[in-house]
């Protein structure tokens, strides 16, 4: 398979998603920053960072495309193939995180990517990874069910076993292990995936990417006009702290980008614009904030 097929798909996916976000935000323009790594750096490549900030609906909505090549694949990318650590590689992907202004609209993350590595034998080894997950600040059953059902529908044509596998993988991955706490309600996550053959595995990747707006935008539409006050805003900023903790401590994508010499500004576009921490803050029992922790920020079968 020609890697240009993957590249063209990813660039068009970024365009379609950010166009939809801008329209939903009332036509708020987003910055489109095309970048290229200097030729004297060990990691070569280019990308497009698109970001909307201080919008009416989205406080920050960042979506980045990158296509890089390097001489040494970092350990963060070879969890399941340690024999490939240090090998020459090519990686491309689209990654996004949207932080809405209204605390009743959840934060969302999506990523689709391909990595190609040249093994010591000279053989080219390729695989796909990605997924999407939802992080609400106030829980709604219908939103969680809709998000997971859309993920299920995207994977169903490629095998009945994929959604339960990828859902479990997502729950295990998006966990703040130092707190014993889930980041959100999960979704799907996969890595090192090529078991369907390279063409069909790419088709599965496209199905996941194409389902993102179907999974997320109906939830935005339901919640964006919900009234809120200082209490809800404070809770949102506090829970965003957990998001930052995960991205910096556990996220392999962040680690891969930084370890491989990627563009720091683009790698960290997932960070929320405002966040707060509080020492040993516990929500009042029976409150909506308490229900979030008891019923939503847990591992559940949403279908």
The domain total for the chain is 1
Decide if 258 is inside a domain: yes
255 is known as an active-site residue: no
Q: Which is the catalytic residue, given 67, 99, 109, 146?
A: 109
Hey, what are 93's tokens?
């992907």
The confidence score (pLDDT) of residue 148 equals: 98
CB 48 within 8 A of CB 32: yes
Cβ neighbours around 246 below 10 Å, total: 25
Cα separation of 220 and 239, whole Å? 18
Which has the higher per-residue pLDDT, 37 or 203?
Answer: 203
Per-residue pLDDT band for 228 (boundaries 50, 70, 90) equals very high
Decide if 55 is inside a domain: no
In the predicted model, what is the mean pLDDT of residues 242-247?
88
pLDDT tens digits, 26-85: 998 899 999 887 776 667 788 999 999 999 999 999 999 999 887 666 665 555 666 666
In the predicted model, what is the mean pLDDT of residues 2-15?
93
CB 7 within 8 A of CB 67: yes
DSSP β-bridge partners for residue 96: 63, 110
How many residues comprise the chain?
A: 303
CB 244 within 8 A of CB 272: yes
The confidence score (pLDDT) of residue 303 equals: 95
The confidence score (pLDDT) of residue 253 equals: 72
Q: What dihedral angle (degrees, nearest 10) is formed by the CA atoms of 34, 56, 58, 33? A: 0
Cα separation of 247 and 226, whole Å? 28
Decide if 157 is inside a domain: yes
Cβ neighbours around 186 below 10 Å, total: 32
* Predicted model pTM: 0.90
Decide if 30 is inside a domain: no
CB 16 within 8 A of CB 10: no
SS3 149: helix
The confidence score (pLDDT) of residue 211 equals: 98
Cα separation of 68 and 223, whole Å? 38
Q: What percent of the chain has pLDDT over 90?
A: 66
Cα separation of 199 and 250, whole Å? 31
pLDDT > 80? residue 6 = yes
Hey, what are 161's tokens?
């076993």
Give the count of alpha carbons within 13 A of 286, CB side only.
0
The confidence score (pLDDT) of residue 1 equals: 66
CA distances from 260 to 6, 130, 146, 266 (A): 21, 18, 36, 13
Cβ neighbours around 195 below 10 Å, total: 11
Hey, what are 67's tokens?
């296509």
The confidence score (pLDDT) of residue 68 equals: 87
pLDDT > 90? residue 302 = yes
Chain-centre distance for alpha carbon 6: 18
Cα separation of 76 and 252, whole Å? 6
Max CA pair span of the chain = 61
pLDDT > 90? residue 7 = yes
The confidence score (pLDDT) of residue 250 equals: 83
The confidence score (pLDDT) of residue 220 equals: 98
Among residues 54, 48, 56, the alpha carbon closest in space to that of 23 is found at 56
What range does the domain containing 233 cover?
Answer: 68-296
- The burial of 252, by beta-carbon neighbours within 10 Å (0-12 exposed, 13-18 middle, 19 or more buried), is given as middle
Decide if 52 is inside a domain: no
DSSP β-bridge partners for residue 175: 182
Q: What is the CATH number of the domain that holds 127?
A: 3.40.1500.10
**Strand-pair category, 181-182 with 186-193:** unpaired
């Amino acid at each position: 398979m020609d890697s240009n097929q993957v590249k063209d798909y990813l660039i068009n996916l970024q365009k379609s998603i950010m166009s939809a976000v801008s329209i939903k935000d009332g036509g708020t323009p987003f910055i489109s920053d095309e970048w290229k790594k200097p030729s004297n750096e060990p990691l070569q490549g280019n990308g497009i960072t698109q970001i909307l900030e201080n919008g009416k609906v989205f406080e920050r909505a960042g979506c980045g495309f990158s296509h890089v090549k390097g001489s040494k694949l970092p350990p963060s990318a070879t969890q399941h193939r340690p024999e490939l650590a240090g090998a020459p590689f090519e990686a491309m992907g689209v990654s996004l995180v949207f932080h809405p202004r209204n605390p009743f609209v959840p934060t969302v993350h999506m990523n689709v990517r391909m990595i190609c590595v040249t093994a010591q034998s000279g053989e080219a080894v390729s695989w796909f990874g990605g997924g999407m997950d939802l992080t609400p600040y106030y829980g709604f059953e219908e939103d969680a069910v809709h998000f997971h059902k859309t993920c299920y529908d995207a994977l169903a044509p490629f095998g009945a076993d994929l959604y339960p596998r990828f859902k479990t993988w997502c729950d295990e991955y998006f966990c703040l292990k130092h707190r014993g706490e889930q980041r959100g309600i999960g979704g799907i996550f996969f890595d090192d995936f090529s078991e369907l053959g390279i063409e069909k595995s790419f088709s599965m990747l496209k199905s996941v990417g194409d389902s993102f707006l179907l999974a997320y935008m109906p939830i935005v539409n339901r919640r964006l006009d919900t009234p809120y006050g200082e209490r809800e805003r404070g809770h949102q900023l506090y829970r965003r702290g957990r998001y930052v903790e995960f991205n910096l401590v556990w996220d392999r994508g962040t680690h891969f980008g930084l370890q491989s010499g990627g563009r720091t500004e683009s790698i960290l576009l997932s960070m929320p614009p405002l966040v707060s921490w509080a020492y040993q803050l516990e929500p009042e029992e029976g409150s909506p904030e308490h229900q979030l922790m008891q019923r939503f920020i847990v591992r559940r079968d949403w279908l």
